[in-house]
Amino acid sequence: MEDTEDFVGQGPHPVDNDVFKEPMKKRRRSDRDQRFRAFPSVEQSALKEYEKLESRTRRVLSNTYQKLIQSVFLDDSIPNGVKYLINRLLALIEKPSLDPIYIGLFGSTGAGKSSLINAIIQQAMFLPVSGESICTSCIVQVSSGCCEQYEAKIHLLSDQEWKEELKNLTKLLHRTEELDREEADAWDRDDAVEEAIWKLQMFYGNGAERKNYEELLRAKPKGKIPTSRIITLKAEEAGELSVKLDPYIRTQRRDLDGESAETQIWPLIKHVEVTLPKSELIPEGVVLVDIPGTGDFNSKRDEMWKKTIDKCSVIWVISDIERVSGGRAHEDLLNESIRACQRGFCRDVALVVTKTDKLHLPEYLRERKVGNRAISSQREAVLERNEMIKLQRNRILKEKLKRKLPADSKVLEASDLVYTVSAQEYWQQALLTEEETEIPRLRGSIRKRLLDKKRMMVTKYVTEAFGLLLLTDSFNCTENLPNEYLHMSGLRRFVEEKIQLLEKAIDQCFAHIEQPLQEGVQNARTSYRRILGACLVRSRGNQGFHQTLKAVCLKNGIYASRTLARIDLNEAITQPIYDQIDPVFGGIFRTGKPTDSTLLPHIEAFKNSLQEKMMEIGVRNGWKYDSYKKSFLIQEISAILGGLEDYILRKKRRIYESLTTSVQNDLKPCYEEAAQIAGKKACERMKDVIRRGVDRQVAERMFERAQERMQHQFQQLKNGITEKVKGSIATMLTLASSQGDGLYKELADVQSEYKEMEKLHRSLREVAENAVLRRGMQDFLLRMSPSKTAPPKA
């Protein structure tokens, strides 16, 4: 079934006939060392120890793999157990060292995202910056690698994706009837119309806005489009690449004459990937993502916008000091970030307040309400104001997170929820020291996250590899086969009983969402007209809103512009449901202490019960001389059920978005009807069609259907979990059972590899203890060292 297709686990792999595949080459030592340049010496030492552990483990696995291949190479048929083992070894050998950590910088126009990235990577004007105007026009990913040059890849829309956008752009510009002067003026001032005209003129030239879709399909673009739909730029220096890259990612001015060949294909750009060589500030494995605040009119770019937000494990909401205290745009960004915690991989949200060097001293002193301490300089005022902002925004953000997330969410325990930074002062240091700009604090938080993830990954990797070596070494052992068969039979019965209990526990867990869902549906039924009315009203009436509303309908209720706040009618009218379910939904998918409503601890309890049963059977029934097999089973259970967490997190997004997706699908006919309206009073007529369409669907149980579809998604998740658990554990028990079943054969002697792996497994604790000791020494030295002097008083 579809819910089990995208299971990405670490458990047993299906038996593969291609068992003679060559594992990938090891990373050279010099390349590995380059990865640590961004870390101070204490952290470098810890990382090198973990890297050494991982490298030696991969070498042991590779040697074992080669021995097994040689022992079965000439066989006519290879037993399933040996195929299983070879495939598992190969999968571990080729497992990526570390999945990228995506840190999303999410902010409105002019908030300072690009300036902040430039400061973090120590390249002053690398990404375009320009005061309050929009500069970065698309998603830009910045990471470091082991390459020798600076490199950028500009990814373009495919031919089909551009045709889809072109069709919608021409529909927006199509007038079937004559308008009176007032309506024509409003149509010309419409934001959606202005953007559509601008894109077509830039791509096809002046006059393109007067042509229809078929004519534009035959027209020749002004710029040259590579067949690969990827443009690669390289340079020896950062400044050189910046100059080359600028025309592709800077938002182009609409009054610009004589644009370059690069700007002519600007409407096609989907996203940009930039790779820095061997950065001493950003470690390899971290990706900084500059995310525009509103999404995009093009479906593919808008889909990428949402997926990029959802794959970020950390989101920094960027807001400049003058906008942080309010405004719809800032609230929208915070809400979208919190939704990412619910539906995506995000575990940390922080508010990064930029441009904090800006302060008008006389005005600040007049309005100051903090104590009686005298302020003698601009610097003292800035530091005092920044500390106040931190305290205020930290409290407000925590309260907002508490309303949406479970009370024991890890993000609420974070000590750093708010940063006050100044990219300008980082370079000038006229008022603030480098530390006071808090750019180093942001870098430190990045390094800590990578170090923690590396430690967890290596611990899991070494433990899983040890389990496989236990099994490999046990293949050549002999035991009392009838007794072992009885052991496995009893264990299978125990597993079946525990799976039934797990199914009941998951049902009870998911049942907690039912009442909030019902209450949310009732709230949505009573408030949807008010919410919809607010969405369809603009402060200037219909002036300049006619074609924007048409764009909303063309995109099934969603309009994302580079200049306006995002409009999503489907999300707006389902918000009362989300307001009710958010804390419970977050509780279901959180990690931490177990409760009846928390899913992952139930799976953890299931794992522990199986492992305890294996220990009990081993002690009671004669596994005294075959501790290998017992240990393998315990380790493999951890690998199987550990892989379920990734599967669950991937399904979480589909479940969370099922409400808005359901509503959007039900309202699609009314959006399509409204999109066809043109001529006089078109804006009011479109609004009327939308209102009547929503009323009709609500009367026909639209919100109740959305509720049922979410519940169905939860049921599919439960089915997917239990099917994977049943299949994987059944395979594992079969392969671990008696050699008399004909699954095994005598294999090459791997005793030396097993002993080496045993040493590596024991050394995990020593490496962790060393890291704690070094961290304590580093903290002590920092406390004892004198602080840096401040800049001269201003």
Q: Is residue 45 part of a domain?
A: no
Whole-number Å distance between alpha carbons of 569 and 388: 37
594, 675: one domain: yes
Burial label for 149, CB within 10 Å (0-12, 13-18, 19+), is middle
Write a three-state SS string for 105-143.
EEECCCCCHHHHHHHHCCCCCCCCCCCCCCCECCEEEEE
Residues 272 and 407 in one domain: yes
Q: How far apart are CA 363 and CA 378, in angstroms?
A: 12
- Confirm whether 13 is domain-assigned: no
Q: Which of 71-85, 207-221, 449-463 has the lowest mean pLDDT?
A: 71-85
* Helix/strand/coil for 790: coil
Query: CA 164 to CA 377: how far, in whole Å?
Result: 57
CA atoms of 528 and 526, how far apart (whole Å): 6
Q: pLDDT tens, 600-636?
A: 888 888 888 887 877 776 666 555 445 556 666 677 7
Whether residue 434 contacts residue 426, with contact meaning beta carbons closer than 8 Å, is answered with yes
How far is CA 757 from each of CA 62, 256, 764, rounded to the nearest angstrom?
A: 12, 65, 11
DSSP 8-state code for residue 737: S
Task: In whole angstroms, give the CA distance from residue 450 to residue 286.
Answer: 7
- Domains contained in the chain, number: 2
Q: Which two tokens stand for residue 676?
A: 């066809």
Boundary-marking domain end, from 393, 417, 437: 437
Residue 348: inside a domain, yes or no?
yes
Structural domain ending residue among the three candidates 437, 460, 479: 437
Asked if residue 429 and residue 515 are part of one domain, the reply reads no
Q: Which domain does 600 fall in, by range?
A: 490-736
Q: Output the domain CATH number for residue 328.
A: 3.40.50
**What pLDDT is recorded for position 664?**
97
Residue 121 lies in a domain: yes
Return the pLDDT at 483: 47
Q: Evaluate whether 386 touches 420 at the Cβ level (below 8 Å).
A: yes
For the ranges 469-473, 475-479, 757-761, the maximum mean pLDDT occurs at: 757-761
Considering the domain boundaries, does residue 395 fall inside one? Answer: yes
Closest of 311, 333, 323, 404 to residue 356, by C-alpha? 323
Query: Does residue 302 sit in the same domain as residue 420?
Result: yes
Which helix (H) or strand (E) segment holds residue 730: the answer is helix 702-736
Q: Characterize 691-725 residue by residue with b for buried, 16 or more Cβ atoms within 10 angstroms of its Cβ, and e for exposed.
A: bebbeebbeeebbebbbebbbebbebbbebbeebb
263 or 494: which leads in pLDDT: 494
Q: Give the CA distances from residue 611 to residues 456, 502, 591, 634, 794, in Å, rounded to whole numbers and listed in that order.
A: 21, 15, 20, 5, 66
Give the per-residue pLDDT at 115. Answer: 92
Residues 560 and 693 in one domain: yes
The whole-number average pLDDT for the span 439-447 is 93
Q: Are residues 118 and 241 in the same domain?
A: yes
- Note the pLDDT of residue 31: 53
Residues sharing a CB contact under 8 Å with residue 152, sequence separation 6 or more, in sequence order: 232, 233, 234, 241, 244, 245, 248, 272, 273, 274, 275
User: Is residue 245 domain-resident?
Assistant: yes
* Ranges assigned E (strand) in 101-255: 101-107, 139-145, 150-156, 230-235
* Residues 714 and 569 occupy one common structural domain: yes
Q: Are residues 644 and 728 in the same domain?
A: yes
Looking at the structure, do residues 584 and 655 belong to the same domain, yes or no? Answer: yes
Asked if residue 751 belongs to a domain, the reply is no
d(CA 448, CA 113): 21
Residues 527 and 433 both lie in one domain: no
Q: Per-residue pLDDT tens for 161-203?
A: 999 999 988 988 876 445 555 555 555 556 778 888 888 998 9
User: Are both 632 and 548 inside the same structural domain?
Assistant: yes
Q: Decide if 469 is inside a domain.
A: no
The reply to whether 424 and 511 lie within a common domain is no
What pTM was computed for the model? Answer: 0.85
Residues 432-460 have a mean pLDDT of: 92
pLDDT at 743: 46
Last residue of a domain, one of 437, 452, 475: 437
pLDDT at residue 176, rounded to an integer: 46
